Amino acid sequence: MRYAAFYYQLSIGGRFVNIDQEQIDGLVNAPAESLNVEIKRWIGLTDPQHQAKIVKGCLALRNRNGGSLVIGFDDETLQPDRAGAPSSPRDDFHVDKVQGLISRFSQEIFEVGVGFSHRDGLDYPVIVVPPGVQVPVAAKRELKDGFGKQLVVEGGIYFRTLNANGVPSTSLAHPKDWREIVEICFENREADIARFLRRHLSGIDYKSLVNGLSTMSRPEIVSAPVSRDLQEECNELLKEGEMRFRKALESKRVADETFIMADLLSMQVALVVDPSLPNRSPDAGFLSEALGSNPRYTGWPTWADSRGFTEVSNRPYVINNGWESLIYSPHGWSSHLDFWRIEPNRFYLRRALQDDLTDKVRQGTALDPILVILRVAEAIAVGAAMVKSLAPEENLAGLRIGFAFKWTKLANRSLSTWANPMVMMIGSPQSQQDEVFSYVEMAADTPLKSIAPIVDEATKSLFVIFEGERIPTNVIEQWTDKLINRKL
């Protein structure tokens, strides 16, 4: 069987925090708060009140395993805060100034980055906090205002949480938060151990090694069978979701351009939880919990939070005991056509794919395998995050999540790494098949660092229609890690 050979150009150098400009642009043009994204009005680096907001926000995001602090927007309306804009945002938020403030108050030193995006004639800063926390980060000194009021607590562990008031917010860690904080740190330590093993056990048959160790330690354990009922429910949701999407197109009376986008290359995702979560009313609190848990790994995330979008018709609405959102933007800063539906136990997403919405490659001719890997990994990671936020903690260990994927308009395309010019691919295998389905299951408490094999399984049936293509597992692992660690 032939396969493509991929080559990577790695970033080298000293101090470096990855700045993904696409993600920075997405955060500024479509801001939305989540557990990994905090939004603040214009604040400075000299006033103690403002310093405290930046310090607590960055410490909380670090303990959440990374994220972004977006400056210059009203956190309620999500509209630009024009009144408080400084004359020179790039000077005021120079990375050295921000880094100096964080280092002065953080017990564990970590580096931050600052990116900027231009909107409506002004540069907006985004402070990027990298992942990788291995011990909880505390404030090493207190900060008071001019009246002696304590703004930052010495020894305080700040965290982005839903437990404080039901919506994403920064606060001192609550007792309910500690389990999650410890799990985040433990997963990052596990990742270091995995990298160590890969370096020092290169050339060893990993599958045989793992099977052997598993047999010695717990010989009674066997692979869990795939739940046929869960798979059928996912497939049924794919059909229902497509039907709901078409009805939404008709009811919104969108322009002809949007109908054209609807018939381009697309990916659908259906997620079903088993056993069912406790019945929830589709109220605003439910939607806030679900969307607020989105880690927002990319500039245009899966299940994008459209509540604050300027175009009212793009915002979510309740229908048939669930929330739906049809997000269409043929023009503007980025072309998109997304439809999603969120219910207490089921989540659906339909997305027109970038390969047919760009001018970098001729429409209908290409599929970028790296984009496929990233989109599937993101759907799995975000879906799992939403389930975890909605599931009672005592039920999480027994939950399974089924994911069904469907790709359409694949015929006569070639695999091409057009969106990743630094990645070379040998050959251009072509597809004769127009649609592909795949299905995978995972435990709800599966560590994010372990989802690469699930991504591999979910994409295998897609890549194989391109003349038997098989993407190497290490390639899928590396790109999945890049996404989870926000190093795209």
Q: What is the pLDDT of residues 223-270, one digit of tens each?
A: 344 455 899 999 999 999 999 999 999 888 777 888 889 999 999 999
| pLDDT at residue 171 is higher than 60 | yes
| Residue 41 exposed, middle or buried by CB count within 10 Å (0-12, 13-18, 19+) | middle
What pLDDT shows up at residue 8? Answer: 37
User: Domain coordinates of the chain in residue numbers?
Assistant: 21-181, 228-484
Residue 31 Cα distances to 40, 119, 247, angstroms:
11, 12, 27
233 and 280 Cβ atoms separated by less than 8 Å: no
Query: Strands 122-129 and 113-119: what pairing?
Result: antiparallel
- Among 377, 307, 299, CA closest to 342: 307
Tokens representing residue 170 in the block: 């920064």
pLDDT above 90 coverage of the chain, percent: 66
- Among 379, 372, 156, 389, CA closest to 289: 389
Tokens representing residue 348 in the block: 């659906």
What pLDDT shows up at residue 187? Answer: 85
Average pLDDT, the chain: 87
What pLDDT shows up at residue 322? Answer: 95
Contacts of 170 (CB under 8 A, 6+ apart): 38, 56, 57, 60, 158, 159, 160, 161
Tokens representing residue 84 in the block: 């408080």
| pLDDT at residue 366 is higher than 70 | yes
Tokens representing residue 267 in the block: 């990916």
pLDDT band at residue 310 using 50, 70 and 90 as cut-offs: confident
Q: What is the pLDDT of residues 454-487, one digit of tens each?
A: 999 999 999 999 999 999 999 999 999 999 988 8
pLDDT band at residue 280 using 50, 70 and 90 as cut-offs: confident
Q: Which long-range contacts (CB under 8 A, 24 or more apart) does 213-219 make?
A: none
Average pLDDT over residues 55-69: 96
- Among 20, 479, 481, 30, CA closest to 294: 30
Alpha-helical segments (H) within 201-262: 206-217, 228-252, 256-262
Does an H or E element contain 401, and which?
strand 400-408
Q: What is the pLDDT of residues 176-227, one digit of tens each?
A: 899 889 989 988 887 655 555 544 454 555 455 545 544 444 333 333 444 5
Contacts of 284 (CB under 8 A, 6+ apart): none
Tell me the C-alpha distance between 5 and 452, whole Å. 19
Cα angle value 355/358/361 (rounded, 5°): 70
Q: Three-state DSSP class for 247?
A: helix
What pLDDT shows up at residue 223? Answer: 39
Tokens representing residue 214 in the block: 């598993």
Select the CATH number that applies to the domain covering 21-181 from these four: 3.40.190.10, 3.40.50.300, 3.40.30.10, 3.30.950.30. Answer: 3.30.950.30
74 and 332 Cβ atoms separated by less than 8 Å: no
What pLDDT shows up at residue 272? Answer: 97
Q: Three-state DSSP class for 99?
A: helix
* Amino acid of residue 266: S
Tell me the C-alpha distance between 214 and 219, whole Å. 7
Q: What is the pLDDT of residues 399-439, one digit of tens each?
A: 999 999 999 999 999 999 999 888 877 789 999 999 999 99
Contacts of 175 (CB under 8 A, 6+ apart): none
What pLDDT shows up at residue 167? Answer: 83
Tokens representing residue 299 in the block: 């500039």
Q: What is the pLDDT of residues 106-120, one digit of tens each?
A: 999 999 999 999 998
Strand partners, 173: none
pTM of the model: 0.83
- Among 172, 182, 179, 107, CA closest to 137: 107
Length reported for the chain: 488
Tell me the C-alpha distance between 383 and 400, whole Å. 12
Average pLDDT over residues 131-159: 95
